């Protein structure tokens, strides 16, 4: 028999049934739970609060308290009632929710190995989570920027670039490790499988990959043109020009944009830029009343910048031969350098085989973690190999725990679904919207607090109410106040500390501190 223990904030309760689901997306693992209670006459009306910590334990034929299968946060409680029948449904997520609920303030990492970025983000942005199992990667990024990206989405991007995955375990410790690198030690076969389903399909894989990052302006080769009978008033450049500089006989010409203004409005301009056609058009004609066309044998020196895209392309020829071509185009403006684009390309090419999905209903008890591996041996399906664990479902109810049929498991590569596509679209939309939040911006913050305050930033202003009494003192962070005495000298509002300390401090009424400031990177 499977025994369970359900705890909220350290207190034990007895739900009618409990469902726990652990699932892995392409680069991360998360868990959620649902628990149903019989609550006649409001039995549990005051027992639970949003934000309570929830722990779920389970094991076979023994005290379940030593086997923790879920640690998370209570996020929803729902009461339902009709007549004398009342029910309560609790639900929530594991501590991965912490990563989803906070964003990274604008920051840039340069020449940083990915595990150091992950650790730094946790230390700066997330409370309650440790980093004892963040493994060192082989990937160092020349540059990556985050502009109010959620920590969860940032970790997904870093995991994608390094070929890693991440999850938060039941001890609230972050794991950042190679996918399918740890074995569960279990083999599933006809001795423990109740029913099974095996499907191979062509969805959500690709073997021809294009990665488009941002565009960068670089200086184009200088071009010199000499007036001839065929040159006329129009010069065609080798590239589409940006930030154009035209000089004729040592004089810098004044430029404008072709077709932006009409007729007489070009007066005072020397040339117009036709970006799409790569042209420099010298102004002339009766409308403007003058000509800036190069004189015979005269020359013009044109210096400009051209926009160079960050593009990487790759394909898996063996996959194309075996399964036919399937193309994927990735456009990600947050990619600022070719090395990051290349690492993303290599990561995507790992998914160049059709997906094999195995779904099993198991008999017995198995402590499984998505992202680990197991062996599946089903001769009738021609299956006998090591595969990754995608998701694990636990359904605890009176019938299932007695028959020990509580676990369902999904194996092998990730199956693409609508939820992941919507998540990916949302992530890319956030990246587009974040383009205006530059990492060099000065961010002004207003912070209200009670008690001690840790001020982070480069510039701060501190305002207080009128000096009255000696309720609190403001002092530098490197100052250790003396134990005795720590009181104001005589005189209302003097602000000087008496006794062994000879410095000064300012006293103010409690709850009156307002601090403000900002980062200047």
CA–CA gap between residue 204 and residue 352 (Å, rounded):
9
The verdict on residue 410 lying in a domain is yes
Burial state string for 325-356 with b = 16 or more CB within 10 A and e = fewer than 16? ebebebebebbbbebbbbbbbebbbebbeebb
Q: 338 and 359 in one domain?
A: no
In this structure, of 25-29, 61-65, 113-117, 148-152, the range with the lowest mean pLDDT score is 25-29
Do the Cβ atoms of 129 and 175 come closer than 8 Å?
no
Q: Which two tokens stand for residue 139?
A: 């990937």
Q: Is the pLDDT of residue 374 over 50?
A: yes
* Measured CA angle at 324 (ends 322, 329), to 5 deg: 125
- What pLDDT does residue 471 have? 44
Residue 6 Rama label (left phi>0; alpha psi -120 to 50; beta): beta
The residue that leads in pLDDT, 325 or 459, is 325
The residue that leads in pLDDT, 74 or 515, is 74
Q: 309 and 257 in one domain?
A: yes
Q: 191 and 216 in one domain?
A: no
- What pLDDT does residue 488 have? 42
Q: Among 449, 465, 460, which Cα is nearest to 512's?
A: 465
- What pLDDT does residue 510 have? 42
% of the chain beyond a pLDDT of 70 = 75
Q: Is the pLDDT of residue 165 over 50?
A: yes
- What pLDDT does residue 371 have? 77
Mean of the pLDDT values across residues 313-328? 86
Q: 314 and 263 in one domain?
A: yes
Do the Cβ atoms of 104 and 334 come closer than 8 Å?
no
CA–CA gap between residue 483 and residue 467 (Å, rounded):
23
Residue 267's φ and ψ, nearest 5 degrees, are: -55, 130
Within 9-162, residue ranges assigned H as helices are: 96-101, 114-125, 151-162
Residue 174, Cβ neighbours under 10 Å: how many? 25
Residue 361 Rama label (left phi>0; alpha psi -120 to 50; beta): beta
Mean of the pLDDT values across residues 349-376? 83
pTM beyond 0.85: the answer is no
The verdict on residue 78 lying in a domain is no
CA–CA gap between residue 496 and residue 488 (Å, rounded):
6
Q: 503 and 467 in one domain?
A: yes
- What pLDDT does residue 463 have? 53
- What pLDDT does residue 355 have? 66
Q: Which two tokens stand for residue 112?
A: 């940083």
Q: Is the pLDDT of residue 274 over 80?
A: yes
Do the Cβ atoms of 340 and 144 come closer than 8 Å?
yes
Cis amide prior to 12 (ω within 30 degrees): no
Tens of pLDDT, residue by residue over 25-51, are 666 778 899 999 988 877 888 889 999
Tell me the three state secondary structure of residue 72: strand
Q: Among 429, 515, 381, 434, which Cα is nearest to 103's?
A: 434
In this structure, of 61-70, 77-86, 207-216, 357-366, the range with the lowest mean pLDDT score is 77-86
- If pLDDT is split at 50, 70 and 90, which confidence band does 74 have? very high
CB neighbour class for 40 (10 Å; exposed up to 12, middle 13-18, buried from 19): exposed
The per-residue DSSP string of 21-32 comes to: EEEE-SSBEEEE
The residue that leads in pLDDT, 483 or 188, is 188
Name 432's Cβ contacts closer than 8 Å, sequence gap at least 6: 333
Mean of the pLDDT values across residues 100-115? 86
Mean of the pLDDT values across residues 480-505? 43
The verdict on residue 212 lying in a domain is yes
Q: 314 and 248 in one domain?
A: yes
Mean of the pLDDT values across residues 196-200? 79
In total, how many domains does the chain have?
A: 4
Last residue of a domain, one of 335, 353, 371: 353
Burial state string for 1-38 with b = 16 or more CB within 10 A and e = fewer than 16? ebbbbbbbeeeeeebebbbbbbbbbbbbbbbbbbbbbe
The verdict on residue 428 lying in a domain is no
Q: 213 and 309 in one domain?
A: yes
Do the Cβ atoms of 102 and 151 come closer than 8 Å?
yes
% of the chain beyond a pLDDT of 90 = 19
Name 405's Cβ contacts closer than 8 Å, sequence gap at least 6: 194, 361, 362, 363
Q: Is the pLDDT of residue 8 over 90?
A: yes
Q: Is the pLDDT of residue 508 over 50?
A: no
- What pLDDT does residue 302 have? 92
Residue 181 Rama label (left phi>0; alpha psi -120 to 50; beta): alpha
Q: 388 and 298 in one domain?
A: no
Tell me the three state secondary structure of residue 443: strand
Q: Is the pLDDT of residue 56 over 50?
A: yes
- What pLDDT does residue 241 have? 92
Range among 45-49, 103-107, 428-432, 495-499 rated most confident: 45-49
> In CATH, what number is assigned to the domain containing residue 189?
2.30.300.10
Range of the domain at 317: 206-353
Q: 189 and 175 in one domain?
A: no
Mean of the pLDDT values across residues 150-167? 86
Tell me the three state secondary structure of residue 341: helix
- What pLDDT does residue 109 have? 85
The residue that leads in pLDDT, 6 or 145, is 6
Q: Which residues pair with 42 in a beta bridge?
A: none
CA–CA gap between residue 248 and residue 250 (Å, rounded):
5
In this structure, of 56-65, 266-275, 344-353, the range with the lowest mean pLDDT score is 344-353
The residue that leads in pLDDT, 101 or 517, is 101
Q: 189 and 167 in one domain?
A: no
Name 48's Cβ contacts closer than 8 Å, sequence gap at least 6: 8, 74, 77, 88, 90
> In CATH, what number is assigned to the domain containing residue 154?
3.55.50.10
Last residue of a domain, one of 144, 179, 214: 179
- What pLDDT does residue 52 have? 92
Mean of the pLDDT values across residues 379-384? 82
The verdict on residue 232 lying in a domain is yes
CA–CA gap between residue 8 and residue 54 (Å, rounded):
5
The verdict on residue 387 lying in a domain is yes
- What pLDDT does residue 327 have? 87
Q: Which two tokens stand for residue 357?
A: 């999905």
Do the Cβ atoms of 67 and 367 come closer than 8 Å?
yes
Q: Is the pLDDT of residue 59 over 60?
A: yes
- If pLDDT is split at 50, 70 and 90, which confidence band does 134 have? very high
Range among 334-338, 447-451, 506-510 rated most confident: 334-338
- What pLDDT does residue 430 have? 52
- What pLDDT does residue 389 have? 85
Do the Cβ atoms of 509 and 468 come closer than 8 Å?
yes
Q: Among 491, 493, 486, which Cα is nearest to 509's?
A: 493
CA–CA gap between residue 314 and residue 325 (Å, rounded):
12
Mean of the pLDDT values across residues 469-488? 47
- If pLDDT is split at 50, 70 and 90, which confidence band does 454 have? low
Q: Is the pLDDT of residue 478 over 70?
A: no
The residue that leads in pLDDT, 441 or 241, is 241
Q: Among 458, 520, 403, which Cα is nearest to 2's?
A: 403
Residue 399's φ and ψ, nearest 5 degrees, are: -70, -45
CA–CA gap between residue 441 and residue 436 (Å, rounded):
10
Mean pLDDT of the chain: 77
Tens of pLDDT, residue by residue over 279-297, are 999 888 777 778 888 888 7
Within 72-150, residue ranges assigned H as helices are: 96-101, 114-125
- What pLDDT does residue 115 have? 92
The verdict on residue 81 lying in a domain is no
The verdict on residue 7 lying in a domain is no
Mean of the pLDDT values across residues 160-179? 86
Q: 255 and 328 in one domain?
A: yes
Q: 380 and 257 in one domain?
A: no
Tens of pLDDT, residue by residue over 360-371, are 999 989 888 887
Tens of pLDDT, residue by residue over 203-250, are 667 888 988 888 888 888 889 888 776 677 888 999 999 999 999 888
């Amino acid at each position: 028999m499977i025994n369970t223990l359900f705890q909220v904030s350290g207190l034990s309760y007895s739900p009618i049934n409990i469902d726990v689901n652990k699932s892995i997306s392409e680069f991360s693992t998360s868990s959620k739970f649902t628990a149903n209670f019989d609550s006649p006459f409001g039995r549990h009306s005051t027992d639970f609060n949003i934000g309570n910590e929830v722990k779920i334990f389970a094991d076979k034929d023994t005290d379940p308290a030593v086997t923790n299968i879920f640690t998370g946060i209570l996020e929803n409680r729902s009461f339902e009632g009709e007549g004398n029948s009342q029910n309560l449904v609790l639900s929530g997520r594991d501590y991965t929710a912490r990563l989803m609920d906070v964003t990274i303030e604008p920051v840039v990492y340069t020449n940083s190995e990915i595990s150091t970025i992950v650790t730094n983000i946790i230390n700066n942005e997330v409370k309650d989570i440790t980093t004892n199992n963040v493994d060192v990667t082989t990937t160092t990024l020349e540059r990556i920027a985050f502009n109010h990206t959620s920590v969860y989405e940032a970790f997904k991007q870093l995991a994608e670039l390094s070929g890693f995955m991440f999850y938060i375990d039941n001890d609230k410790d972050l794991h950042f490790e190679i996918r399918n690198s740890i074995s569960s030690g279990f083999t599933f076969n006809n001795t423990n499988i109740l029913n099974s389903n095996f499907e191979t399909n062509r969805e959500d894989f690709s073997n021809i990959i294009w990665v488009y990052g941002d565009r960068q302006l670089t200086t184009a080769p200088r071009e010199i043109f000499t007036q001839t009978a065929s040159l006329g008033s129009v010069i065609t450049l080798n590239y589409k020009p940006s930030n154009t500089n035209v000089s004729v006989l040592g004089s810098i010409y004044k430029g404008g944009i072709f077709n932006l203004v009409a007729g007489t409005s070009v007066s005072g301009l020397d040339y117009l830029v036709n970006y799409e056609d790569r042209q420099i058009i010298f102004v002339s004609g009766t409308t403007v009343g003058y000509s800036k066309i190069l004189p015979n044998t005269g020359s013009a020196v044109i210096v400009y910048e051209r926009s160079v895209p960050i593009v990487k392309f790759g394909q898996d020829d063996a996959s194309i031969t075996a399964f036919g071509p399937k193309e994927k185009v990735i456009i990600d403006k947050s990619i600022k350098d070719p090395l990051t684009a290349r690492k993303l390309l290599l990561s995507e090419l790992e998914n160049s085989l059709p997906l094999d999905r195995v779904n099993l209903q198991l008999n017995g008890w198995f402590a499984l973690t998505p992202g680990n591996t197991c062996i599946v041996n089903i001769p009738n399906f021609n299956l006998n190999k090591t595969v990754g664990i995608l998701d694990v479902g636990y359904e605890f109810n009176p019938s299932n725990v007695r028959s020990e049929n509580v676990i369902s498991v999904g194996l092998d590569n990730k199956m693409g679904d609508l939820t992941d596509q919507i998540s990916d679209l949302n992530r890319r939309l956030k990246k587009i919207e974040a383009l205006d939040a530059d990492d060099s911006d000065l961010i002004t913050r207003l912070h209200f607090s009670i008690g001690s305050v840790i001020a982070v930033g480069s510039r701060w202003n501190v305002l207080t109410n009128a000096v009255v009494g000696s309720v609190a003192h403001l002092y530098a962070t490197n100052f250790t106040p003396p134990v005795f005495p720590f009181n104001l000298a005589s005189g209302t509002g003097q602000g000087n500390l008496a006794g062994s300390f000879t410095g000064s401090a300012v006293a103010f009424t409690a709850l009156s501190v307002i601090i403000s400031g900002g980062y200047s990177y």
